[in-house]
Structure 1
Amino acid sequence: MNSPLDVLIADDDKEKTEELVRVLKSKLEIGVLDFSISYNSTAKKLKNSEYDLVLLDMSMPTFNPKSNKNKPTLKALAGKDIMVKLKYRAIKVPVIVVTQFDIFGRHSDAIGIEHLISDLRNNFPDNFVGCIYYNTQSNLWEKELIDMIDGVCNE
């Protein structure tokens, strides 16, 4: 990799975000490191700024919380909706989904991670790089993430 990466981390989990930052800064040369914590803030940042890479959580709230007391409603497939926006706006930024879940949605609307990966790969080939299963009990996800980023940077 020759130049620093400008990265957007779109995730509402503070601990996961901190771990992503730690791994990125320890293994890569980072230029701009930007953050969003909801579907709306992510969509706005992607519309108004350019990034070399997006690390995208699949489940996020629709809006940023107005206070620490209010728990915003979680949008199970917010990340997929962000991918739809990228495609619609013809924004061709590489996206790596980083998730702690293997099932998204509830009851009859639930979708498994393998089905989701297949769907993202088929419908968003200009953006979707892959999916990392983030697990606090292992550091395998760190190597997978760096390998995926190296693949993007060396294309």
Structure 2
Amino acid sequence: MDRRTILIIEDEAPKRKHIEEYIKTHREGTPVDIVCRQSVSSALDFLDYNEPDFIILDMSLPTYEISETESGGRPQGFGGLEILRYLKMSGLSCPTLVLTGYEAFMREEGLVELSQISEELNNEFGVFLEGVLYYNSAYSEWKNKISLTLKKVGIY
């Protein structure tokens, strides 16, 4: 069986570990390698040389990795959008699921609900965007969607 690579782009450690642990314990059959990146720049650096089989993408990301010596740079409320645009521009058709902890985002025109963001992203990136989903560790909807999507794209 071919190994598959799942790229998780998420800056919040508890959320990232929760997603990673869920995938590891619920995968069926196909061996997977899980690669994690925590910022826009580190994700883009990875994508310059690798095409994963699946991406789980947070929408709000720092510009750079956060460390003891680095603050992460400018926080980007729509950092995930930059990664989606890079995928489209590069011709990478990697199935991608946006998994965000926000039910709404602030824009110049005011608060925008996740359902509207989802519609806009599907219109622009529908070729490879598998969905936009709200993450809440207390609910299992995100887990079900990840499992269904991984089955759909042939990883589970």
Q: TM-score, normalised by structure 1?
A: 0.88
Change (3 A) 1:3 1:38: same
Q: Which residue of 2 aligns with 1:12?
A: 11
Q: Which runs of 5+ in 2 are unaligned?
A: none
In structure 2, what residue type is equivalent to 1:105?
M
RMSD of aligned C-alpha atoms? 2.0
- Listed as ranges, the matches of 1:73-112 within 5 Å are 73-106=74-107, 108=109, 110-112=111-113
In structure 1, what residue type is equivalent to 2:20?
V
Q: Distance in 2 between matches of 1:4 and 1:150?
A: 15
Q: SS at 1:91's partner residue?
A: coil
Give the C-alpha shift of residue 5 in structure 1: 2.3
Q: SS at 2:7's partner residue?
A: strand
Q: Which runs of 5+ in 1 are unaligned?
A: none
Change (3 A) 1:71 1:31: closer
Q: SS at 1:105's partner residue?
A: strand
Give the C-alpha shift of residue 47 in structure 1: 1.5
Deviates more, 1:12-21 or 1:123-132: 123-132
Q: Distance in 2 between matches of 1:106 and 1:125?
A: 22
Give the C-alpha shift of residue 44 in structure 1: 1.2
In structure 1, what residue type is equivalent to 2:17?
E
Change (3 A) 1:30 1:109: farther
Q: SS at 1:138's partner residue?
A: coil
- Listed as ranges, the matches of 1:35-74 within 5 Å are 35-67=36-68, 70=71, 72-74=73-75
Is 1:21 equivalent to 2:14 in the alignment?
no
How many residue pairs align between the two structures? 153
Deviation string, structure 1 residues 80-139 (Cα, Å, up to 9, x no partner): 111111111101100001111011235535432111111111111222000221112222
| Runs of 4+ that moved beyond 4 A | none
Deviation string, structure 1 residues 12-68 (Cα, Å, up to 9, x no partner): 010011111111111114422111101111111111112000000000001112526
Give the C-alpha shift of residue 3 in structure 1: 4.0
Change (3 A) 1:41 1:71: closer
Q: TM-score, normalised by structure 2?
A: 0.88
Deviates more, 1:83-92 or 1:128-137: 128-137
Is 1:132 equivalent to 2:138 in the alignment?
no
